[in-house]
Chains A and B, each alone.
Chain A
Amino acid sequence: MGKTPYNIWNVIKGGLTGQKNWTPAWRDPEPKASYDAIIVGGGGHGLTTAFYLAKNHGMTNIAVLEKGYLGSGNVGRNTTIVRSNYMHPENAHFYEHGLKLWENMSQELNYNVMFSQRAIINLCHSKAQYDAFARRGNAMRLNGIDAEILNAEEVRQRAPMLDFNPRARFPIFGGLMQARGGTARHDAVAWGYARGADSYGVDLIQNCEVTGFKIENGEIQGVETSRGYIGAKKVGIAVAGNTSKVCATAGLNNLPIESHKLQAMVSEPLKPLIDTVVTYGAGHFYVSQSDKGGLVFGGDLDGYNSYAARGNLPTIEHIITAGVAMMPCISRVRLLRHWAGIMDMSMDGSPIITKTDTKGLYLNAGWCYGGFKATPASGWCFAHTIANDAPHKYNEAFTLDRFAKGRVIDEKGAGPVPGAH
C-alpha cells in the first residue's frame, strides 16, 4: 500500500533529500471487529501465512495477532540454516518447495533477506556413516534435489579449517553436501514478509495476546484477546513452542508435542574462516559464519521440557566440546552471546500443518529444530490449507492423526522421543 520500493534509485534519492522518502515498513493498526481470517502468532510462519493468503489466495481482510512484537520468537533465535536434504518423500518435496521459495524470496518481497547459498556439508566419520549418507543423497537425487557425496579430500578443499588429522577423536571420512543449502538473515525474513503482507492490506497487530477461542457448534467464531474479542471465519494457529498452551484454550489438548529449549551461540567476530555450513557427524554441532564475522553455532536440546527461553551452561560446554573436536582452531575464540528458543518438538520429528476437528480452525506446529528453513513453505502450505479448507499435496501427510494411524514420518527412525530426531 504505497510503500517506497527498496532500490538503488530510492537510496540515491534518499541520500539527496535527507532520507525523507521512506514510508514505514508496516502500519500499526487497531484491530477491527472481525476478519475473514486470523493468524495467531506473528513469527516467521504466521507472517508468511498471511502474506501467501493475500498474495496467492486473494484474502486481504485478515489479521496477524502477535502477543509481543513481530518476529520476537524463534524466527529471530535460530542459526539461520536453510536446506532441503531430507530423505522421506513427504519431507523432501515440502522442504524442496521451500528452498525454491527461498531462492526467489528477496525478489518476491523486494526485501534483501541476504540468502546465501553457501552449501551445507554434513560430515561423516566412518564407512558405515558414509554409506548411510550416500543412501540419503541418492534418495534426495531421486526426489529431484541436489546432493553430492564427498570424500575427505573433497571436504578438505571446501572446509580446510576442520581437523583432518587421522588421530582426531573422530577423523573425517567424507561428507554429504547440498550445494543449494545455505543461510539467510533471519530477522529480515520476518520483516520482509511483514512488509509484504502489510502492503496487501493485512493488519499486523502487535501486543495482542490470544487468550481464548470462541467455538460454537463445532465452528470457530473468533478469538478472545488482550485487546478484546475479534470475530473471524477462519483461525490459523502458528505459535511454535507455545502450541500446547494456546491450543489448550481451544480445547485441543494432548497434542503429540513437547516444548523443549534449544540453544544457539555467536562468537566474537573473526576474519573470514568458514564460508559454508558444516555439521558434525560425531556429535551435535553445526556452524556457519555470519557476515559480521561471528561464528553462529548450535547443538542439541537442553534435554528436558521447558518454556524458559534461556539455556544452561552444561549444554553449552557439551556443544563447544563437539565444536572444538571438529575444528580445534576455535578453542580460544570467545563466546559473545547465547540464547535459547522454545521448540515445539513433535513425536516423530516432522511438522503438523492441518485442519482440526473444529471447522475453521487450523494448526501449524511441530517444527522441532527445523522451523526456520521451513518458513516460506510452511506459510505457503498453511495459507493453501486455510484458503481451500484442504491441504496441498506438499502438506497432506503432516496431519495430527498420523500418530494414531501409524503413519509417522520419522526421518531418523528414532521412535517416539521428542528430541531424538
Chain B
Amino acid sequence: MFKIECPWCGDRDMVEFTYGGDATKKHPDDMAAASLDEWNAYVYERDNPCGPHWEYWHHVNGCRQWLMVHRDTLTHEIYETAKPTAKDVKKPWTGKGDAS
C-alpha cells in the first residue's frame, strides 16, 4: 500500500484514489485533422516503463480532482505529485507542481 499526496488535500491513503493511466499521452490537438497513426499512438500505444512513470489518478473518494503522480512502477515509490494543469508532461519533464 502507499499514500498519495493530493495537491489539494495532502497525504491520503491510496484507496481514496482510482487510477487514470499514462499521463504522457495527449490526444491530438486538432482532432479532426489528426491522422490515424496519431490516434493509434494516443489510444493504443504505451511506453509501459519499468521505473518512473507519469500517470493520472482521480481522488474520487476525496476532493474528486484529477492529479498527476510520478511513481515508480517497480518499487511503487512516489517521487512527486502535481495538479493536472501542469502542461505537456513528457518523460524528461521534472518540473514540480502546478506549471500554470
Contacts and interface: CB of A to CB of B under 8 A. Distances in A.
A416 B48 contact: no
B87 interface: no
Interface string B49-69: 110010101000000000000
Contacts of B15: 314
12 contacts: A254-B45, A254-B46, A254-B47, A255-B45, A304-B19, A308-B75, A314-B1, A314-B14, A347-B44, A403-B43, A403-B44, A404-B37
Interface residues on A, range: 20 to 34
A245 B51 CA distance: 10
Given A314-B1, A314-B14, A403-B40, A253 B47 contact: yes
A259 B37 contact: no
A307 interface: yes
B36 interface: yes
Contacts of B49: 244
Interface of B: 1, 14-15, 18-19, 21-22, 36-37, 40-41, 43-50, 53, 55, 57, 71, 73-76
A312 interface: yes
A308 B1 CA distance: 12
A396 B21 CA distance: 30
B43 A259 contact: no
Contact of A404 (B36, B48, B55, B73): B36
A254 B55 contact: no
A255 B46 contact: yes
A257 B14 contact: no
A258 B48 contact: yes
A293 interface: no
Given A254-B45, A308-B74, A403-B45, 12 more contacts: A245-B50, A253-B47, A258-B21, A303-B18, A304-B19, A304-B57, A304-B71, A305-B55, A307-B73, A308-B75, A404-B36, A404-B40
Nearest to A415: B43
A307 B55 CA distance: 15
A380 B71 CA distance: 38
A34 B1 CA distance: 45
Chain A CB within 10 Å, residue with most, of B43, B44, B47: B44
B46 A304 contact: no
